Amino acid sequence: MSVVHHQLRRGCYLDSIVLLQMQRFLEEQPGVNEAAAIMASRANLEILAAGRLAIEVDSRDEDLLLVARAEDESTASRAFEKVDDWLRQRGEKNAGEHRPRTLATALQMLPTAQWVSISVPGRYATRVAEEALDLGRNVFLYSDNVPLDEERRLKETARAKGLLLLGPDCGTAIVNGVGLGFANRVRRGSIGLVAASGTGLQSVTTRIHALGRGISHGLGTGGRDLRAEIGAATSHQALDLLARDPATRVIVLLSKPTSPATAVALLARARCTGKPVVVYLQDGSPPCRRLGPLFFATDLDDAAELATELDTTDLGIVGPPRAGTSGFVRGLFSGGTLALELLQVLRTLVQPVYSNLSAQGVEPVSGHGAPGHSVIDLGSDELTLGLPHPMIDPQSRLDRLRREADDPKVGVVVLDVVLGDGSDADPAASLAPTIAAIRADRDLPILCLVVGTDLDPQNTDAQVQRLSDAGATVHLRLADLADDLEGRLRASDLEATETDLGALAAPAVVNVGLEAFYDSLREQEAEVVHVDWRPPAGGNEQLMSILEKLRS
């Protein structure tokens, strides 16, 4: 019959990876059927109690607890002795290496350190990150289980100080060729990445490497950065840094699903970088293949391939943002499918967007009137009841066009002009005089998408010429219309993040937490100091609160 035996090692704090290695070693010992090696916090003891290794023990967070279910007590004791040998050998490996107990002392040892890598348990991570920011260092915050309000506060503090905080729950970053966390070894190059997706960043960087190109920087922002509560704070800073970084030629922007308003604001930042930006947002199909300087990918592999292609292509200078138009965009369409295509583009550029068509990220509204930016399908059932379709009779759209032009809040009107058999025999005959009258009254941009061929009975060239002469801007491809609209809506007054470009210098690092990250940095020949971190006040919340007040 097996017995459960345990040993408690007071004040022997070990990180989670070392504990996992120790547990596996313990489980491999002869006669041991089941084992655990944990820090003896209340939460860990509760997890232990839910299994077959429940025990009673008086412990603190910084105490090491070994538990084994073995054939008998002597077998368990021998296994624990083997663990002692394992720990001694591990200690001998680090013999002669001074490991400071505090972050401040570590920075005295390595004053050139621009980064602090933090991978302590989440309940302590905010305190360590605050200290690092107070000491003027950028933060790579691997720790998870950091409350959302604390993440927001940390990122606000970092930005106010001109520092970068990657995370929390940031698994991967590459800064000037040095990998933090779980980064892969990839060649240096001129493609920079901003990613609210750790494994997404790894997937794209390794694929770019396989395609023969290289990475300038890969900045993981933490998986929650694009949540509405955070507002993509780190992603904005990272895009601004890569825009100013001379080593970065092409930018890749990756994210898990996010709120439409947050995505639109971030894409506005991306459009103003002056560099081509490959975008893969995992929240539906891309609006188009290209939108100004934005290139939309369909998946992670496509993002890598697009970035590689752009990195080897002379696109010329994308250029600084020009002043955008003021006022709302109003789309008045006779074709429902074309209206949906415009909606896909418009919801990427502005938010909110309204329509009588159903689409992701679009607010529903009656076709009879819409606030703000909107695209209306004038051929919908609700608007054609008892009336001819607007492709046949233009009168209803002409009336609506005049109403929109009379609204001073409207800044751009977009129309489709669909030619072919069965359509209005001469749509320009009615549209052109109305457009000319509107343009004579006010400088209102009117964009027309003409759909037709040289064989259509309406004479496509003549239609285009007449609409252009009336003052409309005419496009024959939806992609060209989308580019035109993007240029008119490009934000030119985005607030600078003022993040110090020194964040992208070759990093020297103070590591607080997982020793495996320290070992990785040493293998990469980075300057690094490892802090022998322990839970403050033995993990006692009351004492930690008192210490925090004294420190403040």
* SS3 readout for 350-413: CCCEEECCCCCCCEECCCCCCCCEEEEECCCHHHHCCCCCCCCCCHHHHHHHHHHHHCCCEEEE
Q: How confident is the model at residue 367 (pLDDT cuts 50, 70, 90)?
A: confident
Instruction: Say whether pLDDT at 333 is over 90.
Output: yes
pLDDT at 133: 98
pLDDT at 49: 81
C-alpha pair distances (Å), 345 with each of 41, 212, 322, 484, 515? 51, 32, 19, 11, 47
Instruction: Say whether pLDDT at 316 is over 70.
Output: no
Q: What is the tens place of the pLDDT at every residue in 231-246?
A: 999 999 999 999 999 9
Instruction: Say whether pLDDT at 218 is over 70.
Output: yes
pLDDT at 287: 86
Q: What is the tens place of the pLDDT at every residue in 76-106?
A: 888 888 888 888 887 766 666 788 999 999 9
Rounded mean pLDDT, 334-348: 92
Lowest-pLDDT range, 32-36, 140-144, 220-224, 372-376?
32-36
Instruction: Say whether pLDDT at 318 is over 70.
Output: no
Rounded mean pLDDT, 3-8: 86
Q: Comparing 103-311 with 328-488, is the CATH topology the same?
A: yes
pLDDT at 498: 83
Instruction: Let me know if domain 103-311 sits in CATH 3.40.50.261.
Output: yes
Rounded mean pLDDT, 336-349: 92
Rounded mean pLDDT, 5-19: 85
Report d(CA 106, CA 128) in Å as an integer. 13
Q: How confident is the model at residue 513 (pLDDT cuts 50, 70, 90)?
A: very high
Q: How confident is the model at residue 381 (pLDDT cuts 50, 70, 90)?
A: confident
pLDDT at 552: 60
More confident residue, 402 or 552: 402
pLDDT at 285: 74
Instruction: Say whether pLDDT at 217 is over 60.
Output: yes
Burial 350-379 (b: 16+ CB within 10 A, else e): bbbbbbbbebebbbebebeebeebbbbbbb
More confident residue, 62 or 204: 204
Tokens encoding 345? 């583009």
Rounded mean pLDDT, 350-377: 89
The CATH code belonging to domain 328-488 is: 3.40.50.261
Lowest-pLDDT range, 86-95, 290-299, 377-386?
86-95
Pick the most confident of 62-71, 286-295, 524-533: 524-533
Rounded mean pLDDT, 251-274: 90
The CATH code belonging to domain 3-93 is: 3.30.1360
Q: Report the mean per-residue pLDDT for the chain.
A: 89
pLDDT at 271: 92
Q: How confident is the model at residue 457 (pLDDT cuts 50, 70, 90)?
A: very high
Report d(CA 35, CA 24) in Å as an integer. 8
Q: Residue 2 burial (CB < 10 Å; 0-12/13-18/19+)?
A: middle
Rounded mean pLDDT, 355-369: 87
Q: What is the tens place of the pLDDT at every residue in 483-506?
A: 999 988 876 567 777 899 999 998
Q: pTM for the complete prediction?
A: 0.86
Alpha-carbon dihedral sign for residues 12, 17, 21, 23: positive
pLDDT at 5: 87
Q: How confident is the model at residue 3 (pLDDT cuts 50, 70, 90)?
A: confident
**Phi and psi dihedrals of 162, rounded to 5?**
75, 25
pLDDT at 541: 62
**Phi and psi dihedrals of 270, rounded to 5?**
-65, -40
Per DSSP, 94 falls in state T
More confident residue, 178 or 284: 178
Domain boundaries, the chain: 3-93, 103-311, 328-488
pLDDT at 96: 64
